[in-house]
Amino acid sequence: MHTDTIAAIATAMGNSGIGIVRISGQEAVAVADRIFKEKGKQETLEGSPSHTIHYGYIYDGDQVVDEVLVMLMRGPRSFTAEDTVEIDCHGGMLVTRRILETVLKAGARLAEPGEFTKRAFLNGRIDLSQAEAVIDVINAKNEYALKSSVGQLRGSVSKKIRELREKILYEIAFIESALDDPEHISLDGYGERLLIGVQKMEQELSRLIRSSANGRVVSEGIRTVILGKPNAGKSSLMNVLVGEDRAIVTDIAGTTRDILEEHIYLQGISLNVVDTAGIRSTSDVVEKIGVERAMEAARDADLIIYVVDGSRELDENDLQIMELIRERKAVVLLNKSDLEPVVSLEEIAEKSGHRVISISAKEETGIDQLEEEIKSLFYEGEIDFNDQILITNVRHAEALREAYDSIRMVENSIESGMPEDFFSIDLMNAYEKLGLIVGEAVEDDLVNEIFSKFCMGK
């Protein structure tokens, strides 16, 4: 079916130690033989065993293009499950490009973005959720995201989905057989049995759906807003957080409304601090825009950090904000712990309903506790990578929600005493929705859309 031979530069564009040009397809080895000569040997790659490395030169006609190592991997033992040759060349932009051109001249076609992974999927080596994990591994911005994507790549999500589908299929088959052969297979009492089964499935599905809320936080970072009165120490805190030794900062202008976000990377987690009200420049959020507007800014945040100046009395603004953040994921910081305290930690804890951490942005104390608290708010107990699967992909979450709805319908049908063939319609729906996650019964255009998100050479 996919017999033409594709090639692309598989490494990032830019100067580096080595660059890799990857060739995959039926003619991959023949194409490589046309341009590669192993040093001091007469043998061709065609005549060599699989999974061997060959040292030699790439030729464009008589001209040597580069000194390279060539890796030979015959299908199905390769990433694409097709014959694959990887040319390790020097990593300069010009030289990798020249090698690619030579490969294309020798009979390969330039690969589309994601086409290698797409072939791995179409050749049945990985399923769709694993293919998507390839993109996520490449794009992972923090350790949690990476761990979760690697788990997905190794099949954690697929395994769970397959188990659920098997259970559903069993029930569909049972109903269908019983309806076909009522003399031998009885449906007496089946509704009650099925009810127990679907309730279990509902629980499992809803746990997976819930995990997708964390999944977004893991893959994209925790959307964070820092609130506090003027001079509470918000900018000082930001400066500590983005300080060279603990954070990597990049400024990106948001795609909408020009919101500036600073990405802070702390001990394996990422915070995207939304500078909605210009914390760093104007430093008087609450006063300037008012409590309501400040809360509005914080509406979409995953986390609110509220900074209180511990050396001044609490006022009406503080009390109002603390009341408003009671139901939110928030941390309250009692700043300026180096000065004589006027407010007590206990008082604020009681008023805000949140853990209060005493810090000094000036002396950089208490920051570790803040990091620990954020971790425990978002990760601990909820994300255990050893036995819990995390749904990080929006498409998967959507399919899970739809499957959940169908399973709920089955439950309703059982409870309202509908005939059994009603059950199987909704069971079938759930089965198909879950199939979308692993790529069974997905339409070609969805496959194309998913792989178009890849970059070249993947």
Q: Work out which of 60, 287, 338, 440 binds ligand GDP, going by CB under 6 A.
A: 338
Minimum Å distance from CB 4 to ligand GDP? 60
Stretch that binds ligand GDP, among 116-124, 167-175, 334-342, 408-416 (CB under 6 A): 334-342
Does the footprint of ligand GDP cover residue 356 (CB under 6 A)? no
Minimum Å distance from CB 122 to ligand GDP? 54
Does the footprint of ligand GDP cover residue 335 (CB under 6 A)? yes
Does the footprint of ligand GDP cover residue 268 (CB under 6 A)? no
Does the footprint of ligand GDP cover residue 228 (CB under 6 A)? yes
Does the footprint of ligand GDP cover residue 343 (CB under 6 A)? no
For the chain, the residue count is 458
* Strands across the sheet containing 63-73: 36-38, 52-60, 63-73, 84-91, 16-24, 6-9, 109-110
Stretch that binds ligand GDP, among 83-91, 234-242, 383-391, 400-408 (CB under 6 A): 234-242
277 among annotated binding-site residues: yes
Minimum Å distance from CB 234 to ligand GDP? 3
- Radius of gyration (C-alpha) of the chain in whole angstroms: 29
Does the footprint of ligand GDP cover residue 236 (CB under 6 A)? yes
Q: Work out which of 119, 125, 160, 234 binds ligand GDP, going by CB under 6 A.
A: 234
Does the footprint of ligand GDP cover residue 141 (CB under 6 A)? no
Which residues inside 155-184 make contact with ligand GDP, applying CB under 6 A? none
Q: Work out which of 336, 351, 354, 396 binds ligand GDP, going by CB under 6 A.
A: 336
Minimum Å distance from CB 242 to ligand GDP? 13
Does the footprint of ligand GDP cover residue 231 (CB under 6 A)? yes
**454/329 Cα distance (integer angstroms):** 34
Which residues inside 280-299 make contact with ligand GDP, applying CB under 6 A? 283-284
Q: Long-range pairs for 197-204 at CB < 8 Å and ≥24 separation?
A: 197/167, 197/171, 198/407, 198/410, 198/411, 198/414, 199/411, 201/164, 201/167, 201/168, 201/407, 201/430, 202/404, 202/407, 202/408, 202/411, 204/160, 204/164
252 among annotated binding-site residues: yes
Stretch that binds ligand GDP, among 16-24, 75-83, 96-104, 335-343 (CB under 6 A): 335-343
Shorter beta-carbon distance to ligand GDP: residue 8 or 227: 227
Helix (H, G, I), strand (E, B) or coil at 161: helix
Does the footprint of ligand GDP cover residue 439 (CB under 6 A)? no
**378/217 Cα distance (integer angstroms):** 8
234 among annotated binding-site residues: yes
Shorter beta-carbon distance to ligand GDP: residue 228 or 439: 228
Which residues inside 358-387 make contact with ligand GDP, applying CB under 6 A? 360-362
Count helices and strands (H / E) in the chain. 16, 14
Minimum Å distance from CB 58 to ligand GDP? 58
Q: Which residue has tokens 């990032």?
A: 12
**433/440 Cα distance (integer angstroms):** 9
Handedness of CA 253, 256, 259, 261 (dihedral sign): negative
Q: Report residue 423 as tokens.
A: 């059950």
Neighbours of 249 (CB within 10 A): 14
Does the footprint of ligand GDP cover residue 276 (CB under 6 A)? no
Q: Report residue 393 as tokens.
A: 């992909």
| Residue 52 CA neighbour count, 13 Å, CB half | 12
Phi, psi of 197 (to 5 degrees): -60, -45
250 among annotated binding-site residues: yes
Does the footprint of ligand GDP cover residue 230 (CB under 6 A)? yes
Shorter beta-carbon distance to ligand GDP: residue 201 or 277: 277
Shorter beta-carbon distance to ligand GDP: residue 138 or 339: 339
Q: Tell me, what DSSP letter sits at residue 224?
A: E
383 among annotated binding-site residues: no
365 among annotated binding-site residues: no
Assess whether the previous peptide bond of 113 is cis (omega < 30° from 0): no
Q: How far is CA 106 from CA 26, 42, 82, in A?
A: 14, 20, 18
* Strands across the sheet containing 251-253: 251-253, 260-266, 269-274, 222-228, 303-309, 330-335, 356-358
Residues that bind ligand GDP (CB under 6 A): 228, 230-236, 283-284, 335-336, 338-339, 360-362
Q: Which residues are annotated as a binding site for (6S)-5-formyl-5,6,7,8-tetrahydrofolate?
A: 22, 86, 125, 458
Q: Which residues are annotated as a binding site for K(+)?
A: 231, 250, 252, 255
Q: Which residues are annotated as a binding site for GTP?
A: 231-236, 250-256, 275-278
Q: Which residues are annotated as a binding site?
A: 22, 86, 125, 231-236, 250-256, 275-278, 458
